[in-house]
Amino acid sequence: MKIYTKTGDKGTTALFGGTRVPKHHIRIESYGTIDELNSHIGLIRDQAIDPIHKTLLMDIQDRLFTVGAILATDPEKATLKNGEQRLKIPKISASDIKKLEDSMDSMNADLPEMTHFVLPGGHQTVSFCHIARCVCRRAERLASHLNELEPFQPETLMYINRLSDFLFVLARKLTYELQAEEIKWIPNKNS
């Protein structure tokens, strides 16, 4: 199988279901940003971190492929006229969201209470988490816009929202585990 097809040479690409749209379409921006996020999470997973985190991050990467598939599906081609599903696209489940919540609760149990915003950084691995969190928030903004135009499964947007929270908590947990300094943001009173 060749990687290049030349079908996108004029600036269009195909969604699941075959519909062609411009490569700058909000749907493409949405799942493209999820793909970017998935790569950043792979970078975190490649760091010298606890294997428990690595396993969870791999599970999240798998779920992000599901999110990408949902966002890449033309809603008009996804179901038949009788409402039956035409394309076999996996779904995000409530248990996927709960897994993130349970993981955050578990990580938070070991962390000092947060009393201020924190400055991103302190350790390269922690910085990678904060970058992934920011990309996740951008993905959420794009997916939210897409959802206004062409609604999709509600759990998908919930998962992306919860994932950005998870990445913040993971950054704090890694700061703790790597014995990095967590710098509180204290507004400059002179400005």
**What is the sign, positive or negative, of the torsion defined by CA atoms of 150, 153, 154, 158?**
negative
CA dihedral 70→44→178→100, nearest 10 degrees, is 10
Strand partners, 85: 79
Please say if the pLDDT value at position 80 is more than 50: no
* pLDDT at site 133: 98
Comparison of pLDDT for 97 and 191, the residue scoring more: 97
Rounded to an integer, what distance in angstroms lies between the CA atom of residue 182 and that of residue 83?
Answer: 51
Annotated domain spans of the chain: 20-75+92-108+116-177
Amino acid at 92: I
Q: Alpha helix (H) ranges present in the chain? A: 26-45, 51-71, 75-78, 94-108, 124-149, 154-177
Separation of alpha carbons 99 and 74, rounded Å: 28
Residue that the structure tokens 């759990």 belong to:
155
Angle ∠(134,46,56) on CA atoms, nearest 5: 70
Question: Which of 60, 75, 85 has the alpha carbon at shortest distance from 162?
Answer: 60
- Residue identified by tokens 């609760």 is 105
C-alpha to C-alpha distance for 24 and 52, rounded to whole angstroms:
37
Segment 118-161, tens digit of pLDDT: 889 999 999 999 999 999 999 999 999 999 999 999 999 999 99
pLDDT tens across 81-115, in order?
A: 555 556 678 899 999 999 999 999 999 998 988 77
CATH architecture of 20-75+92-108+116-177: Up-down Bundle (1.20)
Phi, psi at 114, each rounded to 5°: -90, 120
The reported pTM is 0.88
Which pair of structure tokens corresponds to residue 1? 């199988």
Instruction: Find where tokens 């998962």 sit.
Output: 159
